Structure 1
Amino acid sequence: MRKLLLWLVMVAAMVAAILGGTAAFLYSRTDEDRLPQQPVQFGGLTLIANGWDWTIPVLGDKVSKTYESPTNLTVQKLGTFTDTTPALTLPDWVTAAEVQITAPDGTVWSGGLADCNTYAYTQNGAYQILVTAHHSDSDAPGDPVGWYAYRAGYTMAMNPKVTLSSERAPQGSIVAIQLSGILDGEPTVESDLGEVWFRKTATGYMGYLPVTYNAEGGDHTLQLTCGTLQKEITLTVTRTLYDTVSVPAEEDVGGGEEFRSAIWPLYTTGSSAKLWNGRFEAPSAGAVNLAYGTTQMVDGQRSGQATGLTYAAADGETVTAPQAGNIVFAGTLTLTGGTVVIDHGCGVKSYLYGLETVGVVRGQSVSTGDPLGTAGTSHSLIYELRIGSKSTDPQLALNGSSGLQFREAE
């Protein structure tokens, strides 16, 4: 019995020695190469850590190695940004972050991982950014746990800049107006072409100006105001050669006042957020019988121009949403039959007329391609795309060549 106990003690001592030696070996081989190596960047420049605290597991949760350095007041100089708003780029190893930006007037903004690039610059001058980037072991228990801290100073010197998606716009098109730089207000545009609804972007604002089918050709002055900024912009409208077709006279079914009461108020209301993404999709698989802007003649007399696309939709065909948005009208009107209006935001709305049945309700959210109802034979299926009250050519949005798709990633 005594020999057995002695043997067990010797075995335990040997195991302890082996484990201790292994731990010592692993500890000696554990160095800073185990720490996260991907850099944190700001404005495309690599930030240099000025403080850290890391614990590296060496032998499970029994042995670990620590690397630490207290934060200091050293400020890394990043220079001046004149063209683009600097963005904070956090590598994949970052699981949490605290960001603090101090403006020239002493105002302090704080954010986290999810909103680290939502700060809006409203003045030029000297800024300072403090970043603490953390990594936890929730996803990978063997990873180092800890943080790096960064402190950097930089200067913003961004003058307001206005960019048009096109300086020459054909009738029926949409022109995007991008406003970037350091701005001290919200923009407005005075123009005889139509109302512009602006949305906030990471670099400033983006607005959309309709150039309808009968906009006067030639130069138009856009008077842009944003806080103290006042700027005149010239946009040249070019004429589009629209087809002329003869159409039969339509029976007057009435319903004009009902239509105006239901639809016209929608021209001036809606979401200020951008709800669409990318190109639009045709609401019907049918061919286009009547293109936007086509002049219609009845018995040799001009009766009007097409304000949308008229589809040869098959009886019973499912009519779908051209883009994502919110249903702001769904019902049947005497003049237009089954009618659905989708608010895509920023003043942009899709108007679909002539449905046989309507399968959506007001207040419902839809995605691109979602069913709206069915086509029939009682009315022609018409698709209008308007900004405010001004109609534009839906085909450009369907082609992905509209100002609605201008620099969407910004």
Structure 2
Amino acid sequence: MRKLLLWLVMVAAMVAAILGGTAAFLYSRTGADKLPQEAVTFGEQELTANGWDWTIPVLGDKVSKPYESPTNLTVQKLGTFTDTVPQLVLPGWVTTAQVQLTAPDGTVWAGTQADCNTYTYTQNGEYQLTVTAYHSADSNTPGDPVGWYAYRAAFTMAMNPKVTLSAERAPQGSIVAIQLSGILDGEPTVETDLGTVWFRKTASGYMGYLPVTYNAEGGDHTLSLTCGSLNKEIILTVTRTLYDTVDIPAEESAGAEEFRNAIWPLYTTGSSAKLWNGRFEVPSAGAPTMEYGTTQMVDGARSGQSTGITYAAADGETVTAPQAGNVVFAGTLTLTGGTVVIDHGCGVKSYLYGLEKVDVERGQSVATGDPLGTAGTTHSLIYELRIGSKSVNPQTALDGNSGLQFREYE
């Protein structure tokens, strides 16, 4: 028995020695190369770590090796930005980050990476940037280092306001995007006879969408743009579009007041956020029977122009959402039958008329291609695309080359 105990003690000592030797070997071989290597970038420039505090697992959760360096007052100089707003890009190892910007007047802003990349620069001059990028413990990768890098940098903003149109000549029925970039000290507004412009915040400034409807007067139009201290007049030339003419039977106007009460208030309300993504999709598999802008004749007299695209939708066919958004109207109207209105944000809405059955509800969010209801034979299926109260040609959005897709991801 005594020999057995002695043997067990010797075995335990040998195991401890082996484990200790293994731990010591692994500890000695664990170097700074085990720390995250991919750099944080700002304005496409790699940031140099100003300080760090890391713990690297060596032997499970029993042995770990620390790497520490206190932060200091060294400031990395990034130069001057004159054309584009610098973007903060975090590598994949970062789980969370704290960002702080100090403006030339001493104003301090703090937030996340996403907020930093849409931060509104209202002054030119030197900015101070501090970033702390963390990698937290993850049960799926227990061998990863845990800790943080700190960065301190300075850069100068020297960006004058700039206004860019997606097109300087626009045909009737089109959408023109208005992009503002540079240092802006307010929120933009545009006065024009063409229609109301909704602006959304972007990384470089603002983007707005101007409707050029089917009956907009041809020739030069002045856009009076104001954004804080910026006042600028821009000339947009509207070109005439040659539309087809068709004869249509006379229709009863029953339900016109009901339609106005239900639909017209939607022209001036809606989300200020951009909810669409990319090109729009046709709501029906049927062929178009009347294009946007077509002049309509009744008994030889002009009765108006088509404000949307009419489709030969098959009875019972599923009608789908042209783009993502929120349903702001879903119901049946005497004049237009089953009606669905989708708010895509920034004043842009899809109006679908003539459904036999409506399968969505007001307040519901839809994605591109989601079913809205079914077509029938009582009414023709019509798809209108409007910015505010002004109709535009849906085909340009369906083709993916309208102002709605202009520099969409900037």
> TM-score, normalising length from structure 2?
0.96
Contact 2:316 2:375 in 1 (8 A): yes
Provide the secondary structure at the position in 2 that maps to 1:141: coil
**Equivalent residue for 2:209?**
208
Q: Aligned partners of 1:398, 1:100: CA distance in 2, in Å?
A: 41
**Equivalent residue for 1:352?**
352
Deviates more, 1:396-405 or 1:352-361: 352-361
Provide the secondary structure at the position in 1 that maps to 2:15: helix
| Residues 1:380 and 2:380 are matched in the alignment | yes
Q: Aligned partners of 2:330, 2:134: CA distance in 1, in Å?
A: 49
**Equivalent residue for 2:153?**
152
CA 1:72–1:388: 2 relative to 1, 3 Å = same
**Equivalent residue for 2:403?**
403
Q: Alpha-carbon deviation of 1:305? A: 1.1
1:275-314 matched pairs, under 5 angstroms: 275-314=275-314
Q: Deviations over 1:137-158 (max 9, x none)?
A: 2141111121111110111111
**Equivalent residue for 2:235?**
234
Q: Aligned partners of 1:208, 1:30: CA distance in 2, in Å?
A: 56
| Residues 1:187 and 2:188 are matched in the alignment | yes
**Equivalent residue for 2:102?**
102
Provide the secondary structure at the position in 2 that maps to 1:147: strand
Q: Aligned partners of 1:188, 1:116: CA distance in 2, in Å?
A: 24
Contact 1:271 1:346 in 2 (8 A): yes
Amino acid at match of 2:398: L
Q: Aligned partners of 2:6, 2:316: CA distance in 1, in Å?
A: 91
| Residues 1:332 and 2:343 are matched in the alignment | no
**Equivalent residue for 1:121?**
121
Contact 1:220 1:237 in 2 (8 A): yes
**Equivalent residue for 2:245?**
244
Q: Deviations over 1:62-96 (max 9, x none)?
A: 22222211110111111111111111111111112
Provide the secondary structure at the position in 2 that maps to 1:12: helix
**Equivalent residue for 1:174?**
175
Provide the secondary structure at the position in 2 that maps to 1:7: helix
Q: Identity over aligned residues, as a percent?
A: 83
Contact 1:179 1:205 in 2 (8 A): yes
Contact 1:360 1:373 in 2 (8 A): yes
Q: Deviations over 1:343-367 (max 9, x none)?
A: 1111111111122222222222222
**Equivalent residue for 1:45?**
45
**Equivalent residue for 1:390?**
390
CA 1:112–1:199: 2 relative to 1, 3 Å = closer
Which structure 2 segments of 5+ residues have no match?
none
Q: Aligned partners of 2:257, 2:111: CA distance in 1, in Å?
A: 52
Contact 1:291 1:309 in 2 (8 A): yes
Q: Alpha-carbon deviation of 1:7? A: 2.7
| Residues 1:137 and 2:137 are matched in the alignment | yes
Q: Aligned partners of 1:147, 1:103: CA distance in 2, in Å?
A: 25
Q: Deviations over 1:303-347 (max 9, x none)?
A: 221111011111122222111122222222222222221111111
Provide the secondary structure at the position in 1 that maps to 2:271: coil
Q: Aligned partners of 1:78, 1:364: CA distance in 2, in Å?
A: 46
Contact 1:253 1:334 in 2 (8 A): no
Q: Deviations over 1:122-173 (max 9, x none)?
A: 2111111111111122141111121111110111111111111111111110
Amino acid at match of 1:178: Q
**Equivalent residue for 1:366?**
366
Amino acid at match of 2:20: G
Deviates more, 1:185-194 or 1:136-145: 136-145
Provide the secondary structure at the position in 2 that maps to 1:377: coil
| Residues 1:223 and 2:220 are matched in the alignment | no
**Equivalent residue for 1:93?**
93
Deviates more, 1:307-316 or 1:108-117: 108-117
Q: Alpha-carbon deviation of 1:14? A: 2.3
Q: Deviations over 1:195-254 (max 9, x none)?
A: 10111112111100001111111111111100000111111111111112222x323242
Contact 1:158 1:182 in 2 (8 A): yes
Q: Aligned partners of 1:298, 1:29: CA distance in 2, in Å?
A: 88
Considering only aligned residues, what root-mean-square deviation do their CA atoms show, in Å? Answer: 1.5
Q: Alpha-carbon deviation of 1:12? A: 2.5
Contact 2:118 2:202 in 1 (8 A): no
Q: Aligned partners of 2:59, 2:332: CA distance in 1, in Å?
A: 72
Q: Alpha-carbon deviation of 1:300? A: 2.6
Contact 1:329 1:341 in 2 (8 A): yes
Contact 2:118 2:201 in 1 (8 A): no
Provide the secondary structure at the position in 2 that maps to 1:39: coil
**Equivalent residue for 1:269?**
269
Amino acid at match of 2:247: S
Q: Aligned partners of 1:362, 1:241: CA distance in 2, in Å?
A: 37
Provide the secondary structure at the position in 1 that maps to 2:313: coil
Contact 1:84 1:203 in 2 (8 A): yes
Which structure 1 segments of 5+ residues have no match?
none
